[in-house]
Chain A
Amino acid sequence: MALFRFKDSKTQDLSESLARETKRQFSQEELFQFAAYDPNAGERGGYSDYSYWRSTLRAFRKNRVAMFFLCVILATLLFTFLEPLLPYDREPNTIYYSEQVQMNLFTRQPILDEAGNPVVKVALAKDMRPGSEFWFGTNAIGQDLWSQIWSGTRNSLFIGFAVACVDALLGILMGVLWGYVRKLDFFFTELYNVFDNVPQTLVAIIISYILRPGMGTMIFAMCLTSWLATARFVRNQVVIIRDRDYNLASRCLGTPTRRIITKNLLPYLVSIITMRMALAIPAAINNEVFLTYISLGVPLETPTLGNLVEAGRKVMSEPLLRYQLFIPVIVLALITISFYIIGNAFADAADPKNHVN
């Protein structure tokens, strides 16, 4: 059982250093002495240059892993914009043709002409494996995957950021009001129930009938429902702390609601909210994958990670074509993992008790 016992490293450190200190001999200067009476001491004011956000950033910067993943995200973001400037000039939506050796369908041998050379024909460059001509290969209709991936990542990140921003703004505002103001509790509970129970699929279908299908429509449809989860999440946290003694004291002293929310409630929730927000971006991207799965995604001429994953999923059973699935999934996973780790590290850094050391 000794293996499963967790040694509390901090306690151990403390007791060790305490033991060391007590064994030591002290010189005269280190021992306590009575201070002389100083009449000016009472006039001295205290001053601390502690700033919450600066300390949070400092604690965050100490976390090497999180900084690395922050760089990964920034580099990916930058690269999706720089990618069209590379000397590799392939368009995401152009269908490419290439010279290919003709194969006999039955014998799987190249067809030879009279001179014994393989017959070369210009054909649709479909399902080409990654190579020097197409860096990430091509998809089932001959489009270049490299440029599709990067333009898809750009579009997906854009969708993710847009949805997460609306999510954060609406979700936190509604959530705090819902949780803190008791008179609004019933109203918001019922509002939540209404929005939550009208199926997202139905809303997405209707919106794509009324508006033109595309990225804007997609973002709008996702924003309509995504803030709900955040609002409920924040609301639960607020309900838990709203009757704590320090809030009661503030209320007794007549602090206005707005001030209680910004000074008492939100600072308490910073760590949890940042983690939630960091997960909101990948969640939006994954939601897009789901909408594409039930064929409500953006049109195919706008490549997104959702479209690419869905296209790759269809050729999954063919072992040679699995690169079409794995490349977008790896990019997607990298983005999600980075956001998760950054969010977690920031949440740790946002706790003021971790600022001291």
Chain B
Amino acid sequence: MAKYIGKRLLRSLLTLFLIMSIVFILLRQMPIEGYFQNFEKMSALQIKVGLQQLGLTDPLPVQLANFWKGVLTGDLGVSHKYRVGVDVLEIIAGKMPLSICIGMAALCISLLVGLPLGILMARSTRTRWKLGDKLGTVFVVVIQGVPAAIYYLLIQFYFSRLPGASMFFYMDQPTTWILPILSLSLGNTAYYAMWLRRYMVDESNKDYVTLARAKGVPTAAISRKHVFRNALVPLVQFIPTSVILTLMGSLYVESLYSIPGMGGLLVTAIQGQDNTLVQALVLIYAAISILGLLVGDLLMALMDPRITLGKKEGGR
């Protein structure tokens, strides 16, 4: 297993290099008008000087080499559009903790609510009226059916009138944290509940479960020891990814409640053609998400001892 992890980490470095090169080249395809605010009024000389300042006049390989040199020395450059002259790492460091805080709180809520909801739905499919399943399905269906942008808006609109809640987010007032966190958690709650229900229903139709039931094992023990444990295996792979997604923040929620977090930073940076900021963000996200996929695989192998990741005799 250690050999497998080591090999994968080494190859990840190569992938990271490839990703950054692709993003780097793609960024250089953007039109040069985008780099300047008053492009029409500028003379050819001004444009040339401006491009030189951004380091865009060198040939591509030289630019790329410079960038990697910068990465190795921990210098990712300064932003030249989003906040002019500020180190990009400083911008990111200022925004990330808040997004992580809100995102992790939301993720905890979704796991704590979503997983029990999924179990409840799956177990109630065996009861006569399937009431829990029907109510849960209604919730999942509504969350899946209405676009996130809309129900976030509706939540902000109607629930911000409650005492303590507010249309906006203030760092020092804990009650204003509730609405954004709740809105963020809804999507993941529905996601986990929906898939856990699917896997548990599939699992509880298996022969060994029927045998256990025939032997007289209590229903609760069957669903805890056999069904739930097997059904959680495919879901476990996505939990690290969910954690990572919290780093990126939510574009909708953070702009609705004006939270100074990561949400939309990447989109804004790309649209503003702030190359250094885009590169730094992509580098960080890519590194973490590659790691997330690896951790997910390891968790999956840990949950289910039948899964082997490395090469094995008889494997193809």
Chain A neighbourhood of B52, CB < 8 A: none
Interface size, B (range): 35 or more
- A1-18 toward B: CB 8 Å interface, digit per residue (1/0)? 000001111110000000
Q: A193-B290, A193-B293 are in contact. Are A351 and B22 (CB under 8 A)?
A: no
Are B289 and A199 touching (Cβ within 8 A)?
Answer: no
Partner of B201, one of A243, A252, A348: A348
Are B266 and A336 touching (Cβ within 8 A)?
Answer: no
**Chain A residues numbered 195-226 whose CB sits less than 8 Å from any CB in chain B:** 196-199, 201-203, 205-206, 209-210
Are B19 and A198 touching (Cβ within 8 A)?
Answer: yes
Are A198 and B22 touching (Cβ within 8 A)?
Answer: yes
Interface size, A (range): 35 or more
Chain A neighbourhood of B289, CB < 8 A: 193, 196-197
User: In the complex, how many angstroms separate the beta carbon of B45 from the nearest chain A beta carbon?
Assistant: 26
CA–CA, A6 to B145, complex, Å?
A: 29
Are A209 and B30 touching (Cβ within 8 A)?
Answer: yes
Are B26 and A198 touching (Cβ within 8 A)?
Answer: yes
The CB with the most chain B CB atoms within 10 A, among A9, A181, A293, is that of A293
A159 beta carbon closer than 8 Å to chain B: no
Q: For residue A288, which residue of chain B has the nearest CB?
A: B147
Are A240 and B286 touching (Cβ within 8 A)?
Answer: no
Q: A8-B213, A197-B286, A199-B270 are in contact. Are A286 and B23 (CB under 8 A)?
A: no
Number of A-B contacts (CB under 8 A): 167
Chain A neighbourhood of B27, CB < 8 A: 202
**Chain B residues numbered 265-316 whose CB sits less than 8 Å from any CB in chain A:** 266-267, 270-271, 278, 282, 285-286, 289-290, 293, 297, 300, 304, 306-309, 311-312, 314-316
**Chain B residues numbered 208-237 whose CB sits less than 8 Å from any CB in chain A:** 213, 219, 233-234, 237
Chain B neighbourhood of A354, CB < 8 A: 205
Are A329 and B147 touching (Cβ within 8 A)?
Answer: yes
Partner of A240, one of B15, B219, B233: B233
**Chain A residues numbered 88-124 whose CB sits less than 8 Å from any CB in chain B:** none
Are B126 and A201 touching (Cβ within 8 A)?
Answer: no
CA–CA, A332 to B147, complex, Å?
A: 8
Are B23 and A202 touching (Cβ within 8 A)?
Answer: yes
Are B286 and A6 touching (Cβ within 8 A)?
Answer: no
A323 beta carbon closer than 8 Å to chain B: no
Are B267 and A201 touching (Cβ within 8 A)?
Answer: yes
Are B314 and A248 touching (Cβ within 8 A)?
Answer: yes
B198 beta carbon closer than 8 Å to chain A: yes
Chain A neighbourhood of B8, CB < 8 A: 186, 189
CA–CA, A236 to B234, complex, Å?
A: 7
CA–CA, A250 to B281, complex, Å?
A: 46
CA–CA, A206 to B23, complex, Å?
A: 11
Are A194 and B145 touching (Cβ within 8 A)?
Answer: no
Are A205 and B144 touching (Cβ within 8 A)?
Answer: no
Q: Interface SS of chain B: helix, strand, loop or mixed?
A: helix
Are A236 and B128 touching (Cβ within 8 A)?
Answer: no
Are B126 and A206 touching (Cβ within 8 A)?
Answer: no
Are B126 and A6 touching (Cβ within 8 A)?
Answer: yes
Q: A197-B290, A340-B144 are in contact. Are A239 and B307 (CB under 8 A)?
A: yes
**Chain A residues numbered 329-352 whose CB sits less than 8 Å from any CB in chain B:** 329, 332-334, 336-337, 340-341, 344, 347-348, 351
Are B141 and A341 touching (Cβ within 8 A)?
Answer: yes
- B11-26 toward A: CB 8 Å interface, digit per residue (1/0)? 1101100110011001
Q: Which of A27-35, A47-55, A128-136, A271-279 contacts B (4 or more CB under 8 A)?
A: A271-279
Are B145 and A337 touching (Cβ within 8 A)?
Answer: yes
Q: A198-B23, A199-B23 are in contact. Are A325 and B124 (CB under 8 A)?
A: no
Q: For residue B132, which residue of chain A has the nearest CB?
A: A6
Partner of A181, one of B149, B304, B316: B316
Chain A neighbourhood of B202, CB < 8 A: 271-272, 351
Are A6 and B306 touching (Cβ within 8 A)?
Answer: no
Chain A neighbourhood of B11, CB < 8 A: 186, 189-190
CB-defined A-B contacts under 8 Å, sample of 13: A6-B123, A8-B213, A8-B219, A9-B127, A189-B293, A194-B15, A199-B282, A205-B270, A294-B251, A309-B149, A336-B144, A340-B141, A348-B201
Chain B residues with a Cβ under 8 A of chain A? 7-8, 11-12, 14-15, 18-19, 22-23, 26-27, 29-31, 123-124, 126-128, 137, 140-142, 144-150, 153, 157, 198, 201-202, 205, 213, 219, 233-234, 237, 251-252, 264, 266-267, 270-271, 278, 282, 285-286, 289-290, 293, 297, 300, 304, 306-309, 311-312, 314-316
List the 6 closest A-B pairs by CB distance, nearest first: A197-B286, A336-B145, A333-B145, A337-B145, A190-B15, A353-B205
Apart from A243-B312, A333-B142, A348-B201: 12 A-B pairs, beta carbons within 8 A: A6-B126, A8-B127, A9-B128, A182-B316, A190-B18, A194-B18, A197-B289, A198-B26, A201-B270, A205-B271, A333-B146, A337-B144
